[in-house]
Amino acid sequence: MDEKQENFDIEDIIKKQRDFFKTGKTKDLDFRIMQLQKLKNSINSNETLLLDALKKDLNKSTFEAYTSEVGFALNDIDFMIKNLKSFAKPVKVKTPPAYLGGKSFIISEPYGEALIIGPWNYPFQLIISPLVGSIAGGNCSILKPSRSAPETYKAIEKVISDAFDEDYIYVVKNGSIKSSELLTHRYDFIFFTGGPTVGKLVMEAASKFLTPVTLELGGKSPCIVDKDTKIEYAAKRIVWGKYLNSGQTCVAP
């Protein structure tokens, strides 16, 4: 598929997802919980495929791939299923004097359509965990995993296609469109994980539509070891943090 064809498909997907969002189905909390459960079931059904893909792409051991990617995402899903209804409750706040006699609440509402762009270092977890938040928030989602982890990309496509229709959650086909082209379209929220250089481009593209953005960017993560620290414990924890995922973690020491 060439880029023009995929661009047309993206426009079609965006329209389909906006139409689906307008039905109001995603606002229902029970609907959201059901979708989270479907995602969990699909991940569990494709666990072997995911672990094999992470081995091929990043040479991750089964233990590390599960604990830092698959199991991490499943834990996020379980947490959200358990707490979603509590999180969604209106929060009563103080009423300003100008509105004396009234009552004030903060009520959380879905944004609409979210674009989620993931990195290569945790190619599964850093796509699925933001998706969990998007589903829980009542949004439709377009996912753009990292093309630098092609086997995991294919596994993510299967996990999503097994569970959802594309008018609700869609995975952009690998290699068919650049992120820069994807960002020329209008979304209601963008979640990007990656480096500051691309993060600036994401922010610039979002600013044209005043689209709210979450940027999870890498950077320096110094460790402070003071005189009261137990050196043996500190050393073990620093080394563990540095060697986890071969040091390719945004908060690695």
> Annotated catalytic, 250?
yes
pLDDT band per the 50, 70, 90 thresholds, residue 7: low
pLDDT in tens, 61-104: 999 999 999 999 999 999 999 999 999 999 999 999 999 889 99
Question: Do 179 and 63 share a structural domain?
Answer: yes
pLDDT band per the 50, 70, 90 thresholds, residue 235: very high
Q: Is the pLDDT of residue 4 over 60?
A: no
Question: Do 225 and 110 share a structural domain?
Answer: no
Q: Could you list the beta-strand ranges (E) of the chain.
A: 91-93, 104-106, 113-117, 140-144, 169-171, 189-194, 213-217
The reported pLDDT for the residue numbered 253 is 80
Query: If you average pLDDT over every residue of the chain, what do you get?
Result: 93
The reported pLDDT for the residue numbered 5 is 52
Q: How far is CA 35 from the centre of its chain?
A: 15
Torsion of CA 166, 70, 33, 85, to 10 degrees: -130
Range from 38-52, 59-73, 101-115, 164-178 carrying the lowest mean pLDDT: 164-178
> Average pLDDT, stretch 170-191?
90
The answer to whether residue 90 sits within a structural domain is: no
> Average pLDDT, stretch 176-199?
91
Domains of the chain: total: 2
Question: Do 63 and 139 share a structural domain?
Answer: yes
Question: Do 164 and 184 share a structural domain?
Answer: yes
Q: Is the pLDDT of residue 221 over 90?
A: no
Catalytic residue, chosen from 109, 216, 223, 232, is: 216
Q: Is the pLDDT of residue 29 over 70?
A: yes
The reported pLDDT for the residue numbered 175 is 72
Question: Do 80 and 113 share a structural domain?
Answer: yes
Domain that holds residue 27: 10-85+106-218
Range from 8-12, 207-211, 226-230 carrying the lowest mean pLDDT: 8-12
Question: Do 132 and 225 share a structural domain?
Answer: no
The answer to whether residue 99 sits within a structural domain is: no
Question: Do 166 and 43 share a structural domain?
Answer: yes
The reported pLDDT for the residue numbered 55 is 97
Q: Is the pLDDT of residue 11 over 80?
A: yes
Q: Is the pLDDT of residue 179 over 90?
A: no
Nearest to 179 by CA among 228, 138, 216, 144: 144
Question: Do 40 and 26 share a structural domain?
Answer: yes
The answer to whether residue 93 sits within a structural domain is: no
Question: Do 167 and 70 share a structural domain?
Answer: yes
DSSP string, 190-207: EEEEE-HHHHHHHHHHHH
pLDDT in tens, 34-48: 999 999 999 999 999
The reported pLDDT for the residue numbered 8 is 54
Query: Between these two residues, 253 and 151, which has the higher pLDDT value?
Result: 151
Residues 137, 139, 141: CA angle, nearest 5 degrees: 125
Q: Is the pLDDT of residue 6 over 90?
A: no
From residue 189, give the alpha-carbon distance in Å to each of 4, 18, 115, 141: 24, 13, 6, 9
